[in-house]
Amino acid sequence: MKHFRTLLDLSEHEILTVLARAHQLKQLRGTASHPTPLARRSVAVVFEKASTRTRISFELGIHELGATPVMLDAARTQMGRGEPLEDTARLLGRYVDAVVYRTFEHTRIETMASEANVPVINGLSDDYHPCQILADLMTVQESGRELRGTKVCWVGDGNNVAHSWILAAGAMGMDLRLACPPGYEPDASIVKRGQSLDAGRIMVTHDVAAAAEGADVVTTDVWASMGQEEEAQKRKAAFASFQVDDSCMSRAAQDAIFLHCLPAHRGEEVTADVIDGAQSRVWDEAENRLHAQKALLEHLLQPSSADAAVESSPPATQRTAP
């Protein structure tokens, strides 16, 4: 039984297999040929944090694979009245075939995985957002790039999305440069873990211009994530010069793409000219949450059929950036 707590729960080969299947499922969506490999299965999706893209993409994706989605707002279950997480996890494991969990401390993901006895997918924790990075990697591929050797520039907070980029770079052989304000760098232990994988290059700097130089991908996130609202004004001052704007994009490669996990605050971490401009792929990226997560669910619950589908089909045609 496999979980998806962080990106490192999958090997490089498994990640590439999931991405290849995601491209196939994207092409097949809405056609009679779209598979329903999870028929008569059920997947619980448990939310302790607000969600738009995670909720929609998982609920639709589970349904499109033939399974029944069970969407749970934790505050409206017995969890909201103090039932121990361990008891909820054991119960879910008796009812459903997999659990998607969106929560706060990453230790809660680990607890769910250890007690549920079914595959557990991290729909977001304070430390990691691996489902987002699967969609991001898929979007990079759609721009016509191989993942290995791609140069990625992260601008802003060293948060959960940045942490997942660090693991992706280490696992997939990417060149990642993170430009973060002093005091807002990614967790040093996670940086060390990514660097220890020895497949990619990971550098943390306070210099946005240096990080963006020659980048194939420029990506960012909000300055204050969920649970940090009280720090918003303090962060606004600290992050003022850590914005993706035309100057930043001009230092990147001519055909560089811009990514953002959304929601976005135009005029803060990114200017409207960039996020709404020709280099932006944020809407493809958001859509790709659906396809990547469908492929992930199939891989975890029906690994043999997912792998066979990829092996028996030609590679999906990738779009190139204009």
Tokens linked to 153: 């520039």
Instruction: Count the neighbouring beta carbons within 10 Å of the beta carbon of residue 210.
Output: 13
CA distances from 22 to 47, 54, 72, 112 (A): 24, 16, 25, 26
Q: Point out the catalytic residue in the list 23, 55, 102, 145.
A: 102
Q: Point out the catalytic residue in the list 261, 281, 299, 307.
A: 261
131 is catalytic: no
**Sheet with strand 217-220: strands edge to edge:** 201-205, 175-179, 151-155, 217-220, 257-260
Q: Point out the catalytic residue in the list 41, 55, 97, 132.
A: 132
Q: Point out the catalytic residue in the list 289, 293, 299, 307.
A: 289
The answer to whether the CB of 126 falls within 8 A of the CB of 145 is no
233 is catalytic: no
SS3 state of residue 101: strand
The answer to whether the CB of 162 falls within 8 A of the CB of 126 is no
Strands 98-102 and 68-73 turn out to be: unpaired
Cα 19 to its chain centre, rounded Å, is 12
Half-sphere exposure of 119 (CA within 13 A, CB side): 22
- Nearest-angstrom CA–CA distance, 57 and 60: 5
The answer to whether the CB of 60 falls within 8 A of the CB of 34 is no
Bridge partners (DSSP) listed for residue 154 = 178, 219
SS3 state of residue 210: helix
SS3 state of residue 158: coil
221 is catalytic: yes
- Nearest-angstrom CA–CA distance, 283 and 275: 10
**H-run or E-run covering 219:** strand 217-220
Residue 215 φ/ψ region, left for φ over 0, alpha for ψ in the -120 to 50 degree band, beta for the rest: beta
Q: Point out the catalytic residue in the list 3, 106, 129, 235.
A: 129
132 is catalytic: yes
DSSP classification of residue 243: -
Query: Catalytic amino acids?
Result: 102, 129, 132, 221, 261, 289
